[in-house]
Chain A
Amino acid sequence: MAKPQIMPKFGFTQETAEIVRWLKGEGDQVDQGDPIAEVTTDKVNMEVEATASGILAGLRYKEGDIVPVTEVIAYILEPGESLPGNGQEAARPAAEAPAPPAEAAPQPAEAPAREEHVRVTPVAEQYAREKGVDLSKVTGTGPGGRVTRADIDRYLETAEPEVPGKVRATPAARRIAREQGVDLVEVRGSGPLGRVQGWDVQEFAARPQPAAVQPEPVPQPAAAPAPAPVPAGEEQVIPLNNVRRLIADRLQRSFQEAPHVYFDADVDTTRLEALRKRANEKLAEGQPGISLTVLLVKAVAWALIRHPLINSRLEEDGIHLLPEINVGVAVAAESGLIVPVLRQANLKPVTQLAAEMKDLVDRARANRLRPDDVSGGTFTVSNLGMFGVDRFTAIINPPQTAILAVGRTRKMFVPDENDQPVLKPVMTVTLGADHRVVDGAVAARFLADVREALEHPEMMVI
């Protein structure tokens, strides 16, 4: 039997992956577990491993194609075996459009009602019957817009609850939530159709603080890959890859929807630099050095504790104050810019944050980040100081409420108490905030606390 090789699903909300390159080619012998293709999801490069041993055949997508997860991308044949359907399906007809990218993910509530025949795979048709799903409400992402089983799963996952305001949860989950004082709305369900199971609540309650359910963040805008010099008189097109497309969509939406308001503050980093120097001198063997970025994260986390409104998410029903402080840090990596998240930064010592940061950066550079490494942030710090930028404004990373843009530290003469010029290290930080959520005064007070923490880092032990 020819074994279909599908595009695996790497992350919870992942819907598509782009094939970066095929590591094995048509007719190659593969062993189970061999990487056969490198793919990129929203922001992470992954390898697709062979699920069986045999001969790789019938590669259905070319490099650069964006493939819905669970779609068959190739087959693994036993010796002497031929492709299903006499191999006619082996190559995708060029005329057929690639599957829609993630941005066009199913939006069940808004999906146009289709009056006539819905194109659907037989498996999905049967599955829809079992689940009682109206196929006309499901957006197909399969070849030619066919509805696949994965589409139905996605539809079911994202469909509005049948009873508004009700959480799908087992009796056990409800009991444990009652006993532990947990709001089931906050718990992500691992059961069928996202049902909250007892163990989900237990896991949730066992954490130091209940975790927020967060959509994945988007990376910060990054400079477009340096294009090759454009020959005179010719226009060059850089096709949008998965990451670029996502960034474009989300940032545009953020900037359109959230009225941004910006606040600058000059920060004297004398003490901060002294602290960093001293701490790095005292580091144990093998401990990663403490960067300015990590101290920035710590200071921001400290200030966020005092200003829960900044650590929030705006939704239909109101402003959700988030119980965890998870600070995303924009990192320039070879593949582009990514935003790994330091979770519960307020609870962790700086040395631990430094260790986690190093691990994240190392893995980001090796394209080995896991989807969960880049999701769940509640606030973002973007530091472009190392690129020589004095100050800049950043676009908020939705659905977060604010972002801190950090410029380089430069020496400036500033007046001392006697109005005499003194040379000091000064860094300009710019807070970008969603004005729908945050008033100017609130933002100003937060920024003042950030500056307080940076100028007098000893305050953070208070």
Chain B
Amino acid sequence: MREITYAEAVREALRQAMEADDRVFLIGEDVGVYGGAFGVSAGLVDQFGTERIIDTPISEAGIAGAITGAAMTGMRPVGEIQFMDFVTLSMEQLVLQAAKIRYMFGGKATVPFVLRMPGGAGTGAAAQHSESLESWFVHVPGLKVVAPSTPYDAKGLLLAAIQDDNPVIFVEHKLLYKQKGPVPEEMYTIPLGQSNVVRQGQHLTVVATSVMVSRALEAGKQLAEEGIELEVIDPRTLKPMDCGPIVESVKKTGRLLVVHEAVRTGGFGGEIVASVAESEAFDYLEAPIRRLAARDIPVPYNKKLEAAMIPQIEDIVAEARRLVKGEY
């Protein structure tokens, strides 16, 4: 299969969705001729024109409101928030409007939009351009939250998100944009709410999200040489979360390590941990459940500090080894 980058996969999904459905359009800051801050929408305006690839003023609340209002009245908009950090300026529209409208109105309205946003650190963009805020949205009933970790997942999940009749927060990752992977040329969807067991092993279940999936896989490769086999699971959709495969896996391995980039306290990892602790897998645990997450600090600028804040491959290797060997 041909290989394309994560950014190209997102772009291809957008293009194919817009070709297939007139109701789909893209709206955000600098998504037109500029091609998006990370080049994701490059060239789309040439194909679809400024009517469907809409540059907005710097108005994040306006973008969120625009996709919500349009979605309520028959369109299937895709919004882009340039950096996930800026979604803080959209929160009222997303949390109090988009998420609640359907329920508040007795199930009589639908809000089918996708709001894409790149999160994550590792680019030296410091505290206001590096956040991983996905757990904020996971906490809001009415929203769905998707975080693809590969080009293949990015395309399939974006197409599924666009077809979904609910507001979907689509969390991309800046460091993944240039990562290549096999992606089919045709349109395909990956159902929202399906975890993916990306590596099988019997000693430790590692649930990782977004950029941490590839790090967990690399850790798995290194540990295999020591005879430690990780089972790596990517939830892909953080809400609704598909806990079944995680529970099954923990029943098999008896151990769970959750890895994410967002800061530890209040992070999505806690939700996975709680779900497993509440499940039948509890009775199969042979070790405490552990989380590896960013330290509870704003993202620092300095490269060394930035790396030290966020789980790296060697951190996963070390923590996994400790858990499996009972050295904690």
Hey, which bits of chain A sit against chain B, CB under 8 A? 170-175, 191-192, 197-199
**B328: which A residues are within 8 A, CB to CB?**
192
Q: Could you tell me the distance between the alpha carbons of A242 and B285 in the complex, rounded to whole angstroms?
A: 42
B151 to chain A, nearest CB (A): 38
Q: Could you tell me the distance between the alpha carbons of A24 and B312 in the complex, rounded to whole angstroms?
A: 46
Which listed residue (A171, A191, A192) contacts B284, Cβ 8 A?
A171
Asked if B327 contacts A170 (CB within 8 A), the reply is no
Asked if A174 contacts B283 (CB within 8 A), the reply is yes
Q: Could you tell me the distance between the alpha carbons of A390 and B287 in the complex, rounded to whole angstroms?
A: 57
Which listed residue (A172, A192, A197, A199) contacts B283, Cβ 8 A?
A172
Which listed residue (B285, B326, B327) contacts A172, Cβ 8 A?
B285
Q: Could you tell me the distance between the alpha carbons of A175 and B326 in the complex, rounded to whole angstroms?
A: 20
B68 to chain A, nearest CB (A): 44
**A170: which B residues are within 8 A, CB to CB?**
254, 285-287
Asked if B285 contacts A171 (CB within 8 A), the reply is yes
- Judge if B86 is at the interface, Cβ distance under 8 Å: no
- B326 nearest CB neighbor, chain A only: A192
- B285 nearest CB neighbor, chain A only: A171
**B326: which A residues are within 8 A, CB to CB?**
191-192
- B281 nearest CB neighbor, chain A only: A171
Q: Could you tell me the distance between the alpha carbons of A181 and B12 in the complex, rounded to whole angstroms?
A: 59
Asked if A192 contacts B254 (CB within 8 A), the reply is no
Nearest first, the 8 A-B pairs at minimum CB distance are A175-B283, A171-B285, A192-B326, A170-B286, A172-B284, A171-B282, A172-B286, A171-B283
Q: Could you tell me the distance between the alpha carbons of A168 and B37 in the complex, rounded to whole angstroms?
A: 54
Q: Is the interface of B mostly helix, strand, loop or mixed?
A: loop
Asked if A198 contacts B284 (CB within 8 A), the reply is yes
Contact with A along B286-328 (1 / 0, CB 8 A): 1100000000000000000000000000000000000000111
Asked if B286 contacts A197 (CB within 8 A), the reply is yes
Q: Which of B254, B282, B283, B326 has the most CB of A within 10 A?
A: B283
Hey, which bits of chain B sit against chain A, CB under 8 A? 254, 282-287, 326-328
Q: Could you tell me the distance between the alpha carbons of A122 and B159 in the complex, rounded to whole angstroms?
A: 58
Q: Could you tell me the distance between the alpha carbons of A173 and B328 in the complex, rounded to whole angstroms?
A: 18
Q: Could you tell me the distance between the alpha carbons of A172 and B250 in the complex, rounded to whole angstroms?
A: 11
B267 to chain A, nearest CB (A): 23
B255 to chain A, nearest CB (A): 10
B277 to chain A, nearest CB (A): 9
**B285: which A residues are within 8 A, CB to CB?**
170-172
B163 to chain A, nearest CB (A): 40
Q: Could you tell me the distance between the alpha carbons of A296 and B278 in the complex, rounded to whole angstroms?
A: 55
Q: Could you tell me the distance between the alpha carbons of A197 and B328 in the complex, rounded to whole angstroms?
A: 15
Asked if B327 contacts A198 (CB within 8 A), the reply is no
B325 to chain A, nearest CB (A): 9
**B286: which A residues are within 8 A, CB to CB?**
170, 172-173, 191, 197-199
Write 15 A-B pairs (CB below 8 A) sorted by A numbering: A170-B285, A171-B282, A171-B283, A171-B285, A172-B286, A173-B286, A175-B284, A191-B286, A191-B287, A191-B326, A192-B326, A192-B327, A192-B328, A198-B284, A198-B286
Q: Could you tell me the distance between the alpha carbons of A199 and B326 in the complex, rounded to whole angstroms?
A: 14
- B288 nearest CB neighbor, chain A only: A170
**B283: which A residues are within 8 A, CB to CB?**
171-172, 174-175
Q: Which of B284, B286, B287, B328 has the most CB of A within 10 A?
A: B286
**A199: which B residues are within 8 A, CB to CB?**
286
**A197: which B residues are within 8 A, CB to CB?**
286
Q: Could you tell me the distance between the alpha carbons of A198 and B287 in the complex, rounded to whole angstroms?
A: 10
- A170 nearest CB neighbor, chain B only: B286
Given contacts A171-B284, A172-B283, A175-B284, 5 further A-B contacts (CB under 8 A): A171-B285, A173-B286, A174-B283, A191-B287, A198-B286
